[in-house]
Amino acid sequence: MNKITFIGAGSTVFAKNVLGDSMLTPALQGFEFALYDIDMERLHDSEKMLNNLKESTHSHVHIRAYEDRQEALRGAKYVVNAIQVGGYDPCTITDFEIPKKYGLRQTIADTVGIGGIFRNLRTIPVMLDIARDMQEVCPDALFLNYTNPMAVLTNVMNTYGGIRTVGLCHSVQVCVPHLFENLGMDPTGVQSKIAGINHMAWLLEVTKDGEDLYPEIKRRAREKQLEKHDDMVRLELMLRFGYYVTESSEHNAEYHPYFIKKNYPDLIERFNIPLDEYPRRCVNQINRWKSMRDELVQNKQLSHQRTHEYASYIMEAMETNVPFKIGANVMNTGLIPNLPREACVEVPCLVDSSGVTPTYVGNLPAQCAALNRTNINTQLLTIEAAITGKREHIYHAAMLDPHTSAELSLDDIVSLCDDLIDAHGKWLPQYR
């Protein structure tokens, strides 16, 4: 029996999206859906939810929960990863509260920045453990990574884990629809080209019937910036650097040194930046789960419509050999020549029975590549720290981070890193 293994299956809503999509995919009927999570209660909640969904959709798949990760992985053809190491409490709280003592504020802290660095450091060892299990029991499986920080973790699994890995983030497929909705434009029939790095990929081309839509987009954006709205950072970056970026304004506010500055507090109001947004979302999600649980887990009539998540479409294309185009995170290998070859990049890819084949993009506009490289610097030094176990590379990663280095002195950066290492305790034992 073919097998799809979902690691982090206690993420019940996301498991419903990805595996619910798969239940509605004819080419995936007859597959076993193997579920694994370290939280047994959440694991069995997801198992029950998916069995209800299987009945209501009349799907011919097999649902099985595993308490042993290696057994869940054994013989898998596809592995979907959605883990979060350390969770909201204590690790996300730590990532936000300790930097605040130094005057360093964040919005999401899951990609780069000081929070992204430490999320990587506690997640990479777990990812490499998964890779070792896969090397033993399913070495040829395709690993579909949804866990952030996307670029670093996808890089590590390919480079050091020896596992064929593709990173998936829905910011690519929602980029144009969200931009056009925000500006009151119709996205029907629009063609686009997107490439860069995860959460900072660029809308390089946007046309309709051969007409470049950027002049009209920028005209409307200049008008839109005169009022308060939720996408002010991205529109400002586009007007200053020429191209729209895929991920949200709350994310991009902390990827650059221009927006969150303690000496310019008016910028927070001016660009409508939601500080501490991710902890707020976590608390809301925890509270919402209490009311959602019965609706999802106990609902015998649970329904599902196929989402825009790429996972089921990738598996379908590989099973049927009917090509499908995605935007995915892969190793650079010269796809974008003016970004480092050792970096993970987000580019258009073609999927068929031969797997995921990235396309050559060529050089990015110079200013876009330069902005990407500022984040890649921190990503690569974070990997260096994780692989060598050397504390000084953590300092290097933080010193090179655009937002952190714009706010703190070298001494404060080192002190902050030391405080975060101490606070993480058992999550980062190798640096103690």
Q: Which domain holds residue 44?
A: 3-167
Q: Is residue 53 part of a domain?
A: yes
Structure tokens at 55: 């009945």
Q: DSSP of 304-327, one letter per residue? A: ----S-SHHHHHHHHHH---EEEE
pLDDT, tens digit, 9 for 90 and up, residues 214-226: 999 999 999 999 9
Is 62 part of the annotated catalytic residue set? Answer: no
Residue 184: predicted pLDDT: 98
Residue 335 placed within a domain: no
CATH no. for residue 139? 3.40.50.720
Choose the catalytic residue: 44, 170, 178, 304. 170
Residue 130 within a domain: yes
Q: Is 407 among the domain residues?
A: no
Q: Where are the beta strands (DSSP E) in 125-181?
A: 142-145, 165-167
- What's the pLDDT score for residue 1? 82
Task: At 78, list the tokens.
Answer: 């596809």
Single-letter residue type at 194:
I
Write out the DSSP string of 38-50: S-HHHHHHHHHHH
Low-confidence ranges of the chain (pLDDT < 70): none
Number of domain units in the chain: 1
pLDDT of residue 203: 98
Residue whose C-alpha is closest to residue 96's, from 389, 422, 420, 326: 420
Residue 133 forms part of a structural domain: yes
- For 222, other C-beta atoms within 10 Å of its C-beta total 11
182: in domain: no
SS3 32: strand
Q: Decide: 69 and 130 in contact? Cβ < 8 Å.
A: yes
Q: What pLDDT does 384 receive? A: 98
In a domain, 284, yes or no: no
What pLDDT was estimated at residue 291?
Answer: 87
Q: Do 175 and 187 touch, CB atoms closer than 8 A?
A: no
List the Cα angle 385/85/340 in 5-degree steps: 40
H or E element, residue 209: none
CA distances from 384 to 99, 339, 410 (A): 22, 18, 19
Task: Look at residues 38, 269, 281, 313 and name the one whose alpha carbon lies nearest to residue 170.
Answer: 313
Q: Considering the domain boundaries, does residue 248 fall inside one?
A: no
